[in-house]
Structure 1
Amino acid sequence: MSTPTLTKDPNLAKGPARGMRPAGYTVLRAGRGALLLHRRSAVVVAILSVVLAAVVVVYLSVGESTVPPAEVLKVLLGQETPHQLVVGELRLPRLTVGLLVGLAFGVAGALIQTVARNPLASPDIIGISQGATAVTVAGLVYGVTSFTLLPYFSVAGGLLAAALVYLFAWRGGLHATRFVLIGIGFAVVLRSVTSLLLTKTDHVVAAQAQIWMTGSLNGRGWEEARPLSWALLVLLPAVVWAAYAQRSVSLDDDTATALGIRLGRTRAGLVLVGVVLASIATGAAGPVDFVALLAPQIARRLTRTAQIPLLSSALMGAVIVVLGDLIGRRMLAPTELPVGVLTAAVGAPYLIWLLIRGRASGRTS
């Protein structure tokens, strides 16, 4: 990675380091404070926000009955309209769950990939989603019928899987390749545990669990959206901390240690935040595969930043989930495809491409 070019900025306070800023950044001043803003990242965030807003309007407009975009905006603004039932009661709750799930998966993937320094290290590849799925399916098999309780089982399963992967991957440090390989091994084991649980229950519960395991927003409403919203709101301070801590983890170990950064604790904290986010999203909509893999990598390529941008990853995750669910609803209408099927259809070829590219790089290095 090339060293960024530093340029003098006469508006900054005098000093050996405070008068320099990396090329491509803009200095925002507020009183005595100053903030470096990456211009390309800001543009990408603005474009993704516009794209997401457009996808939201189309999502609420298109269905068995088409609603004009002007009427959709009236519903969103709380104005009286005859389309309140279709847009506000039927489509909006499902859309809200999709937005929140996409945001959570996007940030979770960005944090875990940052710690592992590997684009393959997403929750659905290294066993976290499989751990959340196994414990959630166990809850369904043993009598849990309320979808509002599933996120608690998912968080417990995700944390357990992450702890096992982290424990077995730690050998005086966290090596990226070992972390991913051990995670893949645990993913296979946990998937087998899930299959075993499904064989121990009746066909009705097994069918219900199979539907949930495909990663679907069908039937999701305010009952799932409200607890998911509160959970993400509670985690917001942790995500803000992670955005700052992410910079120190991006440094090499020697530099970070010389600066007095406790890498072990910081990495563990970032992984914890990512695991909880991914597990909560899995509990709300099931394991929507490859969103946490795709969103951070697309965001990083769009922004061209040294580290994975959290905000762009979150917006990209929301776009992928909502757009995927929209296509799944209408592509074979009236039959609905789970959003997890669409994201897997896109994510699996990308995963294969990453593996081929990594193998080619290993041969040429």
Structure 2
Amino acid sequence: MQPSGTYLLGRKSGRFNFLLSKRTVAWCILLTIATIIIATFALSQGELRTSLTDLVEVAFGTAEQFTSIVILEWRLPRLFASLVFGAALGVSGALFQSLIRNPLGSPDIIGFNTGAYTGALVVIIVFGGNYFEIAFGSIAGGLIAASAVYLMAYKQGIQGFRLIIIGIGISAMLSAFNSWLMLTSKLETAMTAAIWGAGTLNGLGWNKILPSFVFIAVAFVISATLVRKLNILEMGDDNAAMLGVSGERTRRLAMLSGVILTAAVTAASGPISFIALVAPQLARKLTKDGSVGLMASALMGAMLLTLSDFTAVNLFAPNQLPVGVITISIGGIYLLYLLIRQSERS
């Protein structure tokens, strides 16, 4: 019997069928509308202000050449990056928080973000790699950091708090190594890496973001196939085993997918902190959904990063801030709120 307040996608007797909460669907629609509004403002604001009519003319190819260049070559890649990267970070955060069952279970808290940053820095500073090489280096660094944390935290299974503590320690060590890399590199390379390391979407073109989009698309597909198994794992490993779901195999695949998402974003824009921490929790609070909720988390992440980048571009115009400055400011406050809440509960 179909529960009230839900939509059924597919046939009851079919192999592929999903129950969606009506509240979740409503909030996903609202988040989509809010993101479209913010995206429209992002395309129209800047030194060259454009109207909605200008955007329509650009879409149909009837706008002036300079206006088309500004919109299609400068602003649109940045907008797509903020949407896709925000969604990727939201999904990554949802995966890790589901695996660890702790609100602090975020890739930027447990060191995977820092590992991806280390891998990218090594390729940039030591090897002078191109965009594809930086993307591979970032993913390799994230996977190595994740493997180290996983192996050190594994003790007859994975305990969330143990993994978080070890992850924080690994992150601190990698941060020290990153600082050493910067201090020993050439001045120009160090300055470029430092600006990029703040987390920025400035200067992103299609050639810089397409490699990351490829990895993100693959990770999205892997994540989508894991949703049902992750929801079953929420009931505990014993119940999951009775239903034929392998807990450790599902966790490894989810961790792999989450690391790829985080590392692909880091490769193109540097480490953008706290979107992965905040987006899944805000999505869950709004939808009041006990499931993993990857779609709501993705939409919340896309909206938050697009709004943060819009603020970074226009807050001190014509000077532009790295978007990481905005996300750290928002995320730091939210992290303090989480820590206060957890201390009150304990």
State TM-score, norm by structure 1. 0.90
Higher Cα radius of gyration: 1
Matched, 1:131 2:112: no
- Shifted more, 52-61 versus 92-101: the winner is 92-101
Which shows bigger deviation, 213-222 or 144-153? 144-153
Query: Which runs of 5 or more structure 1 residues have no equivalent in the other structure?
Result: 1-19
CA distance in structure 1 between the aligned counterparts of 2:242 and 2:13, rounded to whole angstroms: 28
Alpha-carbon distance change, 57 to 122 in structure 1, aligned in 2, over 3 angstroms? same
Shift of 1:320: 1.2
Verify: 1:37 aligned to 2:24, yes or no: no
Distance in 2 (alpha carbons) for counterparts of 1:228 and 1:62: 26
Does residue 34 of structure 2 align to residue 51 of structure 1? yes
How much identity, in percent, do the aligned residues show? 36
Q: Distance in 1 between matches of 2:256 and 2:78?
A: 27
Number of residues paired by the alignment?
A: 342
Which is further off, 250-259 or 272-281? 250-259
Q: Give the aligned partner of residue 89 of structure 2.
A: 105
Aligned to 1:26: 7
Q: Flag the 1:110–1:55 CA change in 2: closer, same or farther, 3 A.
A: same
Is 2:45 aligned against 1:62? yes
Partner Cα distance (2:4, 2:86) in 1: 32
1:307 aligns with 2:291: yes
Give the Å deviation of 1:53.
0.9
Partner of 1:149: helix, strand, or coil? helix
Q: CA separation in 1, counterparts of 2:94 and 2:10?
A: 28
User: 1 CA distance for matches of 2:116 and 2:216?
Assistant: 17
Q: Distance in 2 between matches of 1:26 and 1:142?
A: 53
Compared CA separation, residues 29 and 147, structure 1 to 2 (3 A): closer
Question: What amino acid sits opposite 2:88 in the alignment?
Answer: A
Q: 1:216 and 1:255, CA in 2 relative to 1: closer, same or farther beyond 3 A?
A: same
Question: How far is the alpha carbon of 1:249 from its aligned partner?
Answer: 1.9
Aligned counterpart, 1:14: none
Match in the other structure for 2:322:
338
Q: Measure the CA separation in 2 of the matches of 1:140 and 1:205.
A: 8
Q: Please tell me the residue identity of whatever aligns with 1:103.
A: A
What is the SS of the residue equivalent to 1:21? coil
- Contact residue 49 and residue 315 of structure 1 kept, 8 A: yes
Counterpart mapping for 1:183-222 below 5 A: 183-222=167-206
Q: Bigger shift: 346-355 or 246-255?
A: 246-255
Deviation at 1:135, TM superposition (A): 1.7
Structure 2: tracts of 5 or more residues without a match: none
Name the CA distance, whole Å, in 2 between partners of 1:155 and 1:35: 32
**Contact 1:249 1:267 (C-alpha < 8 Å) held by counterparts:** no
On the 8 A contact 2:83/2:305 being kept in 1, the answer is yes
Q: Is the 8 A contact 1:58 1:69 kept in 2?
A: no
Deviations 1:185-218 (A, max 9, x none): 1111111110111111121111011011000001
CA RMSD in angstroms comes to: 1.5
User: Matches of 2:162 and 2:220 in 1, distance apart?
Assistant: 30
Mapped to 2, the partners of 1:342 and 1:127 lie a distance apart of: 20
